[in-house]
Amino acid sequence: MSLKDNRREYDYGTLSRDSLHNNPFTQFSLWMDQAIEADIIDPTAMSVATVGQSGKPWQRMVLLKGFDERGFVFYTNLGSRKATDIAVNPHVSLQFPWLQLDRQVIVGGRAEALSATEVSDYFNSRPLSSQLAAWASEQSSPIASRAVLEAQFEAIKQQFSLGEVPLPEFWSGFRVVPKEFEFWQGGENRLHDRFYFQRQQDDWNISRLSP
């Protein structure tokens, strides 16, 4: 089958204005719960799009590690491309691709650094192997081979074999404070349901978009 013929109908469900919550965080929480209950793969996975000093956009998948009405939280190495992009341009976009439910959510907002306490608490809750990996990887920097990476991991493992793994100074996290949301529900005949939320001071303006 050629790529141009690779298509299917989107018939999981519909999204109406009457069924849509006025608070986008409430709507997101509902859809997240349904994605988890549906046992889809990696329901907390989200694409983070950034634009750095060069003006070029870049995307990567990360895991959402918390959300509430303050925003959406993820963690990263401060030397990573995403973090260096955010340092010069904090405006980012998130996308949750719940394709098995014919759904996606897009969030646009500003990334703000998490507090030292938040970062420390989360780092200390991570499995030991994840803590060691944070030290071993100079995220986004060139590396000669997989063998070099594994050697760095083993060296770090030996270094911290007799005690707790401390929080690296170069490892932190961000909270994306939303300014806009889009909820997309695939529909039959490509007549998708799309609702756009835009923050208006302490409230949200809601509009339906053409598919």
Nearest to 107 by CA among 9, 10, 204: 204
Tokens of 50: 């950034």
> For this structure, is 194 an active site residue?
no
Annotated catalytic residue within 81, 126, 146, 190: 190
DSSP string over 116-180: HHHHHHHHHHS-HHHHHHHHH--TTS--S-HHHHHHHHHHHHHHTTTSPPPPPTTEEEEEEEEEE
Helix axes 128-136, 146-159, angle to 10 degrees: 120
Dihedral of the alpha carbons of 150, 153, 155, 161, in degrees to the nearest 10: -140
Catalytic residues: 190
